[in-house]
Amino acid sequence: WNKIRKDCESVDTSSIQRSFVNHVYSTLARTPYNLDEFGAYQAAAHSVRDQLIHKWISTQQHFTRSNPKRVYYLSLEFLMGRTMQNCVINMDMEEAYSKALREMGLAFETLYDQETDAALGNGGLGRLAACYMDSLATLDYPALGYGLRYTYGIFEQRIRNGEDQVEYPDYWLRFTNPWEVARVDVAYPVGFYGSVHNDSAGRAGQPGQPAARWEPAEFVQAVAYDVPIPGYDTDTVLNIRLWSSKPQRQFDLSSFNDGEYEKSVAEKQRAENITSVLYPNDNTPAGKELRLKQQYFFVCATLQDILRRFSKLNLPWSELPNKVGIQLNDTHPSLGIVELQRVLVDEHGLEWDIAWALVQRVYAYTNHTVLPEALECWPVSLMERLLPRHMRIIFDINLYFLRSVEQRFPGDYERLRRMSIIEEGHQQMVRMAYLAVVGSHTVNGVARIHSDLVRSKLFRDFAEFYGDDKFVNITNGITPRRWLHVANPQLSALITKRLGSNRWLKDLTELSRLKAFADDEDFQQEWRQVKRTRKESLAEYIQKHVDTAGEGPVNSEALFDVQVKRIHEYKRQLMNILGVVHRYLRIKEASAEERRDIVPRVFIFGGKAAPGYHTAKLIIKLINRVKNVINADPDAELRKLIRVVYIPNYSVTLAERIIPASDISEHISTAGTEASGTSNMKFVLNGGLLIGTRDGANVEIAEHIGGWDLAFEFGAKAEEVDDLRNKVRYLRPEIHPAFRRVVEAIKSGQFGDSSPFVNMLDRLVSDGDYYLITVDFPSYPEAQERVDAAYKDQKKWTRMSIENCAGMGFFSADRSVQDYAKKIWGINPCPPPPSK
Ligand code: 26V
């Protein structure tokens, strides 16, 4: 066996070719004569997958033998993007595959484009989970990701009539997915609804009290699909286990006999519904029963899997926290806290307090937003119906928790009301964030300013009760493998050449050595050449794939100004497009003389709006209206100076194209609202500069690159925001004339029928400017002028660009996961034994 297996693992040219041809014939049932590019991609993918699986089995066996504490990363989203190129690069097989296929007349690199993104996430939170898996694998941590295998990922966005977002289903599994392994042997039952027995006192698990028995009324099955994740330059291959819902039993024959065939098919449909669609909301909870079902389905299956693994060790329950750490990626999986308590008390007979102490030592919770409307709350009535036993456990958790608060702060009922996991009111609600805080040993925010707000505002009472140490910061990071090496091979090669090795790919702080060359003439020229190449390639993409209504190619000599991210009021794409209008009006009235001084700009927008988020969709409409008018302006000279592009269907793969081409990117959220941002890190790593507020990770990026002289800062500070909000609301300060003029231009119909926008704009200039666009506006165009001035001096600009990149070492996801491992999980790397 071993000898044959070794044979299968070899990646010399002829083995790769044999494996490729074998997959063409026996996996795809095709021949060289009818093999199109997609078929070639599929065969190549299956061949790469074979390699992955060997290393993956070895890794899992090694973990089983070494038996270290493991961390389980629970996330309802994994925004993976494409896999093939990342895989062969991480496993150092790109050249081998390239050569083997080239000999057969195929260009391996052109096959990458055949792959569809795995888009099982909305934005930052889901992409973060994907970056962390890459880093955990690269650093050989004994980790396992858990998620859901949605049949439909994030919707496909198209722009209708040149202005409105419409959503299309993303049926990404249409042509099967070579990167998953169906585990029909790994399946667990998950129950819903029903009733609770033997719990008369509601004190199950208390000394002398019988455990409760939950009798669910409906069962479905969770079936595992495994996705292997190779580390870079290591043999470790981790696993993401995605659950898919299936009907519990096959067709019930008696329903056939009763002539209830249709009913039984409908039941099957209902079961499969649970994992059918990713909820397309980002930062606004949906409150839908199916979403709660997804969440419970997820944690119920995941905990059965984790506890089955633990039970094989034959250890006492007291050992659980020494073998299992569970990280909750936001509150979405926080029912896991309740489920573990239920399993320990009801199914294994542990006493309540003993079980609860274990639960708290197992879980840790990452908060990703402080926006109040984004905090998940579930109606007690819904929870009671869907998960009756869990609802009682939540009430008990809350009761014991509030008793301990009352002991510390006797008689402070206002505090008890504030801290209660149950929000009283017209409709009782479960505050999932509070449940997550109470059930975890550590809570972290995702950038320093955000973690400070989490501790001092969002969970202030809890920090007072538990002590500040429970609340820590882990600044987000990104994987330099995908976001520099794969996305920007030209820049990666240049950096490797200049540093003399590619060690920076595993130790990103190596980049700091680039600082020494920031003024080096030759290096500067090569650096600029890379950026030029990437801008030309994006211009080409736009020409080919974006509806430009015959406007001609974008000028790749112009400054590329990019804002790509989910559309949300707090991210202020609205302020960006109003700034564009301001600039347009200024250029229109400028003399020929003055125009010679203007830096040509291309404004590039991209991003999806949640389908039900009316204002976000209106902002997309406005961006496109402004775009259509500016790009069609009769003044040809003006059109050379300003151009607007909306790239539809922003995705991981598009990000890999767009980010390396950016000169300046916009991270302009109202201070205190963007938890971290991660695209800011990706842009700077690729030598793009930032314009932004003192928000999220912008603050730390500025520090690490050498201060705000190397980036363009504007706007109010987080500490000022509360006062400013009161000011715009009650005192209505004077609106800046430049801002008024922009609003008037839109209302006058210069960009078509203004009626859809009137409300949104009037709100800004009356008392509804919650995100302080009018307050930050004057300083925003001012900062843009500083951008222009800096760009005119290409030497200075290039120096800034190099220094920006050189300062990014800290923002590697490798550093982030090491922080988690040390500060939160208490786990160590478990590297594979050197292969003989
Ligand atoms: C909430 C919900 C509610 C139910 C429906 C689905 C859904 C999906 C997402 C959310 C909240 C998302 C919070 C979030 O994505 N935060 C982002 O996290 C990034 C990674 O930490 C961070 O960089 C961004 O600043 C932050 O907005």
Query: For residues 688 and 697, what is the distance between their CA atoms, to the nearest angstrom?
Result: 15
Q: To test ligand 1's pocket by mutation, which of 76, 120, 122, 476 has the most ligand atoms within 8 angstroms of CB?
A: 122
Sign of the Cα torsion 707, 711, 716, 717 reads negative
Q: What is the pLDDT of residues 59-93, one digit of tens each?
A: 999 999 999 999 999 999 999 999 999 999 999 99
- How much of the chain exceeds pLDDT 70, in percent? 97
Annotated catalytic residue, options 389, 455, 566, 568: 566
Q: What is the pLDDT of residues 281-316, one digit of tens each?
A: 876 667 699 999 999 999 999 999 999 999 999 999
**pLDDT interval class at 255 (50, 70, 90):** low
Q: Is the pLDDT of residue 252 over 70?
A: no
500 CA distance to ligand 1 middle (Å): 39
Q: Is the pLDDT of residue 249 over 80?
A: no
The residue ranking higher by pLDDT, 287 or 211, is 211
Residue 205's pLDDT is 56
Read off the pLDDT of each residue in 157-176 and give the average, rounded to a whole number.
97
Smallest Cα–Cα separation from 80: which of 240, 225, 277? 240
211: tokens are 């455990």
Q: To test ligand 1's pocket by mutation, which of 78, 131, 283, 700 has the most ligand atoms within 8 angstroms of CB?
A: 283
**pLDDT interval class at 207 (50, 70, 90):** low
Angle at 367 between CA 366 and CA 369, to 5 degrees: 155
Asked about 441 being catalytic, the answer comes back as no
Residue 168's pLDDT is 98
Contact between residue 87 and residue 231 where contact means Cβ atoms under 8 Å apart: no
- Tally of residues, the chain: 836
For ligand 1, atom 8, name the residue with the nearest CA: 282
Contact between residue 75 and residue 294 where contact means Cβ atoms under 8 Å apart: no
Q: Is the pLDDT of residue 405 over 90?
A: yes
Contact between residue 44 and residue 91 where contact means Cβ atoms under 8 Å apart: no
Instruction: Assess whether the C-beta atom of 285 lies below 6 angstroms from ligand 1.
Output: yes
What kind and span of H or E run contains 795?
A: helix 794-806
Write the CB contacts of 407 (distance below 8 Å, at least 6 apart in sequence): none
Q: Is the pLDDT of residue 202 over 60?
A: no
Which atom of ligand 1 lies nearest, measured to the CA of 678? 23
DSSP state of 151: S
- The crossing angle, in degrees rounded to 10, of helices 352-362 and 388-408 is 90
Q: What is the pLDDT of residues 531-549, one digit of tens each?
A: 999 999 999 999 999 988 8
**pLDDT interval class at 4 (50, 70, 90):** confident
Rg (CA), the chain: 28
730 CA distance to ligand 1 middle (Å): 31
DSSP string of 674-703, one letter each residue? -S--SHHHHHHHTT-EEEE-S-TTHHHHHH
Residue 767's pLDDT is 76
Q: Is the pLDDT of residue 254 over 80?
A: no
For ligand 1, atom 6, name the residue with the nearest CA: 281
Contact between residue 442 and residue 71 where contact means Cβ atoms under 8 Å apart: no
For ligand 1, atom 4, name the residue with the nearest CA: 285
Q: Any bridge partners for residue 221, and if so which? A: 189, 246
Query: For residues 353 and 448, what is the distance between their CA atoms, to the nearest angstrom?
Result: 34
Residue 513's pLDDT is 98
DSSP string of 79-140, one letter each residue? EEE--HHHHHHHTT-HHHHHHHHHTTT--HHHHGGGPPPEEES-SHHHHHHHHHHHHHHHTT
Query: For residues 527 and 792, what is the distance between their CA atoms, to the nearest angstrom?
Result: 17
Contact between residue 573 and residue 624 where contact means Cβ atoms under 8 Å apart: no
Which atom of ligand 1 lies nearest, measured to the CA of 476? 21
Annotated catalytic residue, options 46, 62, 342, 565: 565
Which atom of ligand 1 lies nearest, measured to the CA of 128? 20
Asked about 582 being catalytic, the answer comes back as no
586 CA distance to ligand 1 middle (Å): 37
Contact between residue 337 and residue 436 where contact means Cβ atoms under 8 Å apart: yes
Read off the pLDDT of each residue in 454-465 and give the average, rounded to a whole number.
98
Smallest Cα–Cα separation from 81: which of 108, 116, 113? 116
Instruction: Assess whether the C-beta atom of 124 lies below 6 angstroms from ligand 1.
Output: yes
**pLDDT interval class at 250 (50, 70, 90):** low
Instruction: Assess whether the C-beta atom of 140 lies below 6 angstroms from ligand 1.
Output: no
Asked about 59 being catalytic, the answer comes back as no
The SS3 of residue 558 is coil
Q: What is the pLDDT of residues 555-574, one digit of tens each?
A: 999 999 999 999 999 999 99
DSSP string of 569-583, one letter each residue? GGGTHHHHHHHHHHH
The SS3 of residue 183 is strand
Mean pLDDT, rounded, of the chain: 95
Instruction: Assess whether the C-beta atom of 122 lies below 6 angstroms from ligand 1.
Output: yes
Q: Is the pLDDT of residue 208 over 80?
A: no
Instruction: Assess whether the C-beta atom of 279 lies below 6 angstroms from ligand 1.
Output: yes
Residue 287's pLDDT is 66
Read off the pLDDT of each residue in 613-625 and give the average, rounded to a whole number.
98
For ligand 1, atom 24, name the residue with the nearest CA: 677
Instruction: Assess whether the C-beta atom of 538 lies below 6 angstroms from ligand 1.
Output: no
Residue 2's pLDDT is 86
612 CA distance to ligand 1 middle (Å): 16
What's the distance, CA 347 to chain centroid? Answer: 35
Which atom of ligand 1 lies nearest, measured to the CA of 674? 25
Query: For residues 264 and 63, what is the distance between their CA atoms, to the nearest angstrom?
Result: 42
Alpha helices in 376-483 (DSSP H): 380-386, 388-408, 413-419, 432-438, 448-453, 460-466, 480
Write the CB contacts of 111 (distance below 8 Å, at least 6 apart in sequence): 37, 40, 41, 44, 84, 101
Query: For residues 780 and 693, what is the distance between their CA atoms, to the nearest angstrom?
Result: 9
Contact between residue 744 and residue 754 where contact means Cβ atoms under 8 Å apart: no
Give the HSE-up count for residue 253: Cα atoms under 13 Å, Cβ half-sphere: 0
Residue 482's pLDDT is 98
Query: For residues 100 and 226, what is the distance between their CA atoms, to the nearest angstrom?
Result: 28
Q: Is the pLDDT of residue 673 over 80?
A: yes
Residue 836's pLDDT is 55
Amino acid occupying residue 669: S
What domains are there in the chain, each with its CATH number? 67-82+117-475 (3.40.50.2000), 486-499+510-717+737-742+777-811 (3.40.50.2000)
Pairing of strands 70-74, 143-148: parallel
Asked about 515 being catalytic, the answer comes back as no
CA distances from 725 to 110, 134, 673, 714 (A): 52, 41, 13, 17
Q: What is the pLDDT of residues 324-377, one digit of tens each?
A: 999 999 999 999 999 999 999 999 999 999 999 999 999 999 999 999 988 999
Write the CB contacts of 597 (distance below 8 Å, at least 6 apart in sequence): none
Asked about 275 being catalytic, the answer comes back as no
Q: What is the pLDDT of residues 772-793, one digit of tens each?
A: 999 999 999 999 999 999 999 9
Q: Any bridge partners for residue 561, and if so which? A: 603, 664
Q: Is the pLDDT of residue 474 over 70?
A: yes
Q: Name the one residue in this structure whose structure tokens are 């208390």.
A: 206
Which atom of ligand 1 lies nearest, measured to the CA of 283? 11
Q: What is the pLDDT of residues 88-145, one digit of tens each?
A: 999 999 999 999 999 999 999 999 999 999 999 999 999 999 999 999 999 999 999 9
Q: Any bridge partners for residue 191, and if so which? A: 219
Contact between residue 193 and residue 219 where contact means Cβ atoms under 8 Å apart: no
Contact between residue 394 and residue 423 where contact means Cβ atoms under 8 Å apart: no
Asked about 460 being catalytic, the answer comes back as no
Contact between residue 371 and residue 283 where contact means Cβ atoms under 8 Å apart: yes
273 CA distance to ligand 1 middle (Å): 23
Amino acid occupying residue 739: F
Query: For residues 422 and 396, what is the distance between their CA atoms, to the nearest angstrom?
Result: 11
